[in-house]
Amino acid sequence: MNQKFLCLAVIIGGSLVPAMAESIFPVRNEAALSRSTALPALGETAVLAGGASAYSARLDWSNEFVNVRNGNEALLLDGETQRVSFGWRRGVAAGLEIGIDVPILLTNGGVLDSVIEGWHGAFNLANGGREFVPRNRYTYRYVRNGVTALNVTDGHNGFGDIELSAGYALREGLALRALAKLPTGDEARLAGGNAGGALWLDYDPFAGARRWFGFVSVGGSYNGQSQVLGDLQRQWVGLGGAGAGYRALPWLAFTAQFYGHTPLYAHSEIGALSRYGGQLAFGGRIGLGAHTALNLGVQEDVILNSSPDFSIHIGVSVR
């Protein structure tokens, strides 16, 4: 599979169908060890009208590095993922929609290590030990009490977990949403591979505003036990987020949002496994026509090591 061609397809493919822009970024925690948990993208407060369709093509390019030893535990997470996803949603009745999202994961050593080190250096930020290990390496390893519970050193290109979704409009600006994560990914390759589901509310506090838009969301997720650190996995996870955007021009908007979730793992003294997750994303949306938009953004782990150090989001949405 040609990775460059696939990534470029995300940018240009979505512009082939006319539609309207999404209101907020569909981003979340893209860490390799988060794929055992159904973590939905939040913030879609409006449900499609009956007969209407929406399409999306997205690239989430993430780089993560964690190298921690604490007592009898040692965790090394060092790699890069390009998650390319194609989505479709359809209004099937008044106030009711269904959808599907098909992800393809390209996992490898990547090319962003030097870029991130340069970014950290420019702003006098800590590298967390990146500068002392080989660049562009792919290694995911967890050792506990002398036993290696996780050891993945080869990248992989293939499908992740396909997601089925549904949304119901409770009233204007308030939607109840559900997601089912199908076990289509390869567990041994850290591509998901276990079933899960999520239920949440998306609320628009700016309903009726001319320039401002945004969301507040809250919900939960339940997941079948994974083969990846399944003895530490928390099957119930709480999640939520909030975001806001400002339409500076009819074709240009700026957005910022926060995504948070309760710990994904338990019984560990290593924070990257046992602490709450928190990601901050910011960027902009460019209108490419009456029904098409290009989203560009970056995401950082505002709670250290709870998610990838740095993620780039590129998405085309059409309605």
Q: Which pLDDT tens digit goes with each residue over 264-313?
A: 999 999 999 999 999 999 999 999 988 899 999 999 888 888 889 889 99
Banded model confidence at residue 164, pLDDT cuts 50, 70, 90:
very high
**Averaged pLDDT, 44-67:** 95
How far apart CA 161 and CA 168 sit, in angstroms, is: 23
> What CATH number did the domain enclosing 112 receive?
2.40.160.40
* pLDDT for position 117: 66
Residue 289 vs residue 116, higher pLDDT: 289
Query: What is the rounded average pLDDT of the residues 211-233?
Result: 96
Closest alpha carbon to 64 in 44, 34, 98: 34
Residue-wise pLDDT tens digits, 177-201: 999 999 999 999 999 999 999 999 9
pLDDT at residue 13 in the model: 40
> What tokens does 186 get?
């390869």
Chain mean pLDDT for the chain: 89
Number of domains the chain contains: 1
pLDDT at 21: 39
Angstrom distance (rounded) from CA 178 to CA 200: 7
In 73-86, which positions are buried (b, 16+ CB within 10 angstroms) versus exposed (e)?
bbbbbbbbbbbbbb
Checking if the pLDDT of 17 tops 60, the result is no
96 pLDDT tier (thresholds 50, 70, 90): very high
In this predicted model, which residue has the larger pLDDT, 159 or 22?
Answer: 159
- Residue 311: give the domain boundaries: 3-318
Tell me the C-alpha distance between 316 and 286, whole Å.
Answer: 10
Lowest mean pLDDT among 97-106, 212-221, 284-293: 284-293
**Would you state the pLDDT for residue 63?**
92
CB atoms within 10 A of CB 260: 21
Q: Tell me, what's the pLDDT at 181?
A: 98
Is the predicted pLDDT of residue 97 greater than 90, yes or no? yes
Judged against a pLDDT cut of 80, whether residue 12 lies above it is answered with no
Determine the average pLDDT of the residues in 105-119: 78
Q: What is the pLDDT of residue 15?
A: 36
Q: What is the pLDDT of residue 123?
A: 67
Residue type, 173: G
Q: What is the pLDDT of residue 201?
A: 98
More reliable by pLDDT, 132 or 205: 205
Q: How many CB atoms lie within 10 A of CB 66?
A: 23
- 8 Å CB contact between 142 and 75: yes
Residue 11: band (very low, low, confident or very high) from pLDDT cuts 50, 70, 90:
very low
